[in-house]
Amino acid sequence: MIAKLILVAIGATQGASAHVVDVATAQRAIGTPSAAATAARIEQHASRGSTDALVGELRAVLADPTLETAAQEWLLESGLHGLRRLPATPAARALVAELSTRAPRIFTRVEPEHGRHAVPLYDVGAVARYTERDWVRGEARVAATKALTLGNADALEAWLEQDDSPRAMAVRSGILDAWHATKAERLEGQRAAVVAAMRAGRDADRLALELARRLRDPELYSLTIGHAEPAVALAAVQAAERELDSVTALVVLGKAADREPIASAALRDRQAGRR
């Protein structure tokens, strides 16, 4: 009776194709010879870097009426995880965009102590969205690496142009990946622009912290501690204590004493480290 009520509730929000199954039933569905053969082809395409062949396989999965729903969702998830590691093509982007809005279709009940709530066993839409963000992050990393290699101002401007959207966060993650991987002597060419951005109140916090760490730069540590968002400022306090000599660190950490809640958080962190 409980299972039927759960299924009715899910169907009302997710559509008539939603199913509640136990894990054993799902495992039987994905263990059929047909599903296993398709999974093997998916893995083969992914290992060979054959993006469009993998897309074709996933299109075939979507169109196959003989596959049980659990097997279909599992195969789509598996294929999307493979696509995350491959270069995006127009066909791959189209498929991933299509699947990114797909609601979960297979649910299972969690343990009784958690109220036996139904939760997604597979979530194709979520994996598709992760795949899109991975591609965006990788493309941003490549572009930022090129800009840093050339000493181009785009290395910072691309960061400053972003907002708080998931796509923008992926872009910033890719840019930060590039800064992590770039040699310190190349990053030094970005120092003046980052200092100017911080003094102007622009959101270059995480890049300023990365530069401060890589260059062991007291001024950048001071700017980050004094102006960055609290989490980044506290990370700068911790890094300055580790990376700078004791006299320089004492001067830099004076900035933290003038700013709450950084001063309190830094004190708690230091006390915890002494236990």
Q: How far apart are CA 61 and CA 70, in angstroms?
A: 12
Token pair of 17 as six digits:
């194709």
Beta partners for 106? 19
Residue 1's pLDDT band (cuts 50, 70, 90) = very low
* pLDDT single digits (tens) 190-204: 999 999 999 999 999
Going from N- to C-terminal start, the domains of the chain cover 2-116, 123-182, 202-275
Quickly state the pLDDT bin for 118 (edges 50, 70, 90). Answer: confident
Does position 14 have pLDDT exceeding 50, yes or no?
A: no
Cα(107)–Cα(8) distance, integer angstroms: 12
Q: Is the pLDDT of residue 129 over 90?
A: yes
Confidence of residue 261 (pLDDT cuts 50, 70, 90): low
Query: What pTM, to 2 d.p., does this model score?
Result: 0.83
Q: Measure the CA–CA gap between 136 and 100, rounded to whole angstroms.
A: 14
CA dihedral 193, 199, 201, 205 (to 10 degrees): 60
Confidence class for position 9, pLDDT limits 50, 70, 90 = very low
Q: What is the pLDDT of residues 20-47, one digit of tens each?
A: 998 899 999 999 999 999 999 999 999 9
